[in-house]
């Protein structure tokens, strides 16, 4: 992926605060001071990949620092309060466990959204929720956002941030998407415009592939509920997971088209993966993976009219 140009003054300030806490009055490495000087003088966008390259070279900034930078303009509170509990990120949960088989009640959409007739984007496996919060803040009057996440603590913290930002167009739910997606989206009053599945848990072992979130019933449900012209965005840093998702959505070619067939400005590599992130904001997993030098495999589909 190329540079991300959404950085602004808030990101610059966040960089300053990260750097001062990390180096605590010690001399800064030359690449970091140059970056700060550049940002101070120009107040112009700077490049996350350049920071990542510096950070990696210097072993000074970490990938969580880069997440903080990417989302600096959200100004989220990072102290997790006692009632939320410590948010410990375990690698995978087993979505086939009995405890995840009970669907949560469908919410009253008029209670959770200011206008429940707006087009809806659903992010499956929304993780921390920052990606969806960033989008919701930018499209506060035109779109609703629903994050489905199987880890309750992540949902609690994301909902805490929703309140902190006073957003009325976003909602996070503790839900196993495999069990709940159909019931939730079919009850939503407005059109389902976009579904994203971003860096889903890979469940590497063959006997665990059935735990992967993208399975035939979910694909059918997405395809059937999307409004004509609606979109599906998939990505993964794990080639076989990306390929598994791609094969399942490519097989719906009578209903879905890949976006480069419709919009000639969208470019793909020789194997048909998108060359860049169409959202202009990276998810956390994406930032961590790119920091480690991984490629992100992306596909975006459009439902035929």
Q: Which residues are catalytic?
A: 201
Contact status: 230 vs ligand SAM (CB under 6 A): no
Instruction: Decide if residue 125 touches ligand SAM (CB under 6 A).
Output: yes
Indicate the burial class of 101 (C-beta count within 10 angstroms; 0-12, 13-18, 19 or more).
exposed
- Please report, as residue ranges, which positions from 101 to 120 form the binding site for ligand SAM (by CB under 6 A): none
The residues, ordered by sequence, that sit 6+ positions from 120 with a Cβ below 8 Å of its Cβ are 143, 144, 145, 146, 185, 188, 190, 191, 192, 193, 194
Nearer to ligand SAM by Cβ, of 29 and 127: the residue is 127
Give the residue from 185, 235, 182, 219 showing the smallest Cα distance to 303: 219
65 binds ligand SAM (CB under 6 A): no
Alpha-carbon gap, residue 227 to 305, rounded angstroms: 9
237 binds ligand SAM (CB under 6 A): no
d(CA 163, CA 156): 11
- Which CB atom, from 32 or from 67, has the smaller least distance to ligand SAM? 67
H, E, C per residue of 242-289:
HHHHHHHHHCCCCCEEEHHHCCCCCCECCCCCECCCCCCCCCHHHHHH
Those residues with Cβ within 8 angstroms of residue 53's Cβ, 6 or more apart along the chain or in another chain: none
- Least distance in angstroms from the C-beta of 237 to ligand SAM: 9
CB nearer to ligand SAM: give 39 or 176. 176
Binding to ligand SAM by residue 157, rule CB under 6 A? no
Task: By CB under 6 A, name the one of 283, 290, 300, 301 that touches ligand SAM.
Answer: 283
The stretch near ligand SAM (CB under 6 A) out of 8-16, 20-28, 136-144, 196-204 is: 196-204
C-alpha closest to that of 71 among 161, 160, 149? 161
Q: 73 vs 284, which CB is nearer to ligand SAM? A: 284
Using CB under 6 A, which of 65, 73, 149, 159 touches ligand SAM?
149
Binding span for ligand SAM by CB under 6 A among 47-55, 114-122, 173-181, 291-299: 173-181
Q: Are 301 and 258 in contact (CB under 8 A)?
A: yes
Assess 285 for contact with ligand SAM (CB under 6 A). Answer: yes
Q: Does 184 bind ligand SAM (CB under 6 A)?
A: no
Question: Residues 22-61 vs ligand SAM: string with x where CB under 6 A?
Answer: ----------------------------------------
Angle at 9 between CA 8 and CA 10, to 5 degrees: 90
Residue identified by tokens 């086939």 is 96
Query: Near ligand SAM by CB under 6 A, which window of 1-9, 53-61, 77-85, 175-183?
Result: 175-183
What CA–CA distance (Å, rounded) separates 109 from 188?
Answer: 7
Which of 28, 52, 76, 95 is close enough to bind ligand SAM by CB under 6 A? 95
Element (H, E) at 192: strand 192-198
Q: Give the shortest CB-283-to-ligand SAM separation in angstroms.
A: 3
Among 32, 35, 46, 151, binds ligand SAM (CB under 6 A): 151
61, 117 contact by CB (below 8 A): no
> 3-class SS at 90?
coil
Applying CB under 6 A, the residues found at the interface with ligand SAM are 93, 95, 124-127, 148-151, 154, 176-178, 198-201, 213, 283-286
């Amino acid at each position: 992926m190329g540079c991300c140009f959404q950085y602004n003054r808030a990101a610059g300030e966040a960089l300053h605060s990260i750097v001062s806490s990390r180096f605590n009055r010690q001399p800064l490495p030359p690449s970091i001071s140059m970056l700060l000087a550049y940002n101070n003088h120009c107040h112009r966008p700077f490049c996350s990949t350049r920071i990542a390259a510096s950070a990696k070279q210097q072993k000074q900034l970490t990938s969580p620092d880069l997440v903080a930078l990417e989302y600096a303009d959200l100004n989220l509170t990072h102290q997790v309060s006692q009632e939320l509990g410590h948010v410990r990120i375990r690698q995978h949960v087993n979505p086939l466990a009995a405890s995840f088989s009970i669907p949560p009640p469908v919410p009253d959409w008029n209670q959770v959204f200011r206008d429940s007739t707006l087009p809806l984007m659903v992010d499956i496996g929304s993780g921390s929720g920052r990606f969806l919060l960033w989008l919701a803040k930018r499209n506060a009057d035109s779109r609703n956002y629903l994050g489905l996440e199987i880890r309750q603590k992540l949902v609690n913290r994301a909902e805490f941030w929703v309140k902190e930002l006073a957003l009325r167009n976003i909602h996070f739910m503790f839900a196993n998407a495999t069990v709940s997606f159909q019931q939730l989206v079919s009850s939503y009053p407005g059109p389902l415009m976009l579904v994203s599945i971003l860096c889903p848990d890979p469940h590497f072992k063959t006997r665990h592939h059935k735990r992967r979130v993208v399975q035939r019933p979910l694909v059918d449900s997405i395809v059937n509920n999307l409004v004509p012209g609606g979109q599906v965005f998939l990505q993964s840093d794990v080639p076989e997971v990306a390929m598994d998702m791609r094969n399942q959505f490519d097989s719906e070619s009578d209903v879905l088209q890949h976006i480069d067939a419709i919009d000639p400005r969208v470019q793909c590599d020789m194997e048909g993966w998108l060359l860049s992130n169409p959202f202009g904001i990276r998810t956390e997993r994406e930032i961590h993976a790119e920091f480690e030098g991984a490629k992100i495999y992306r596909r975006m589909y459009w439902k035929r009219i």
